[in-house]
Structures are given as C-alpha cells and as structure tokens.
Amino acid sequence: MMKPESARTLMWSGAILVIVGAAIGAPAGGLFCMGLAALCSLAPIIVGPTSPRLGGAVVLVIALAIAGQLYPLYQKDQERLRERATKPHPPQQQAPQPAPP
C-alpha cells in the first residue's frame, strides 16, 4: 500500500501533465505529456488508497483519450518532417563577388 500523500501527489502530477500537454501546440510534446500523465496515474490506481485510486483512473482515461486524438496529428507531423528532411535542396546561388580595385 502506498502512502495517501504520495498517491495524491502522483494523481495531481498526472492531472497537471494533462493540462500542460493539452496546452502544448506540438503534437509530439502533447503526446509525451499524456504518456507521462498516464504513467503518473498508474501508481495510485495499482497500490493507492480509494480516493486517489479513483482520481488516478479519471486522469488515466482523460490522458488516453487525448493521446488517442493527438496520435494521428503526431503521425502527420512526423511524415511532414521526414519528407522535408529527405527532399533534395536546390543548390545555393553564390552572391556575385565585387571586382578587385
């Protein structure tokens, strides 16, 4: 059994991570925060007392729901990055050199 204070702290940490993850504009950052929130909420669910266990379950469900919505956006974002990284760049034109005096 986990201390009630520790379980409550992990539950609230998960809730704060859900809020931060929802506020982040980049899908990768939001997905990362949702994953951390889910991990934080698992400990109170598994070994915590009753009230943090219920709160942890709510945080876990919310984090998984938002992560499910963010994952397709994350895949699109990563595909765009992959295309941009593998696309050949046109050669840079050199600025004309001034004639020596």
- Per-residue pLDDT, averaged over 18-45, amounts to 95
Q: How does residue 14 score in pLDDT terms, banded at 50, 70 and 90?
A: very high
Closest C-alpha to 30, from 71, 89, 79: 71
Q: How does residue 38 score in pLDDT terms, banded at 50, 70 and 90?
A: very high
pLDDT over 80 (residue 92): no
Backbone angles phi, psi at 93, to 5 degrees: -85, 135
Question: Which has the higher per-residue pLDDT, 98 or 19?
Answer: 19
What is the model's pTM? 0.80
Cα–Cα–Cα angle for 26, 86, 33, rounded to 5 degrees: 20
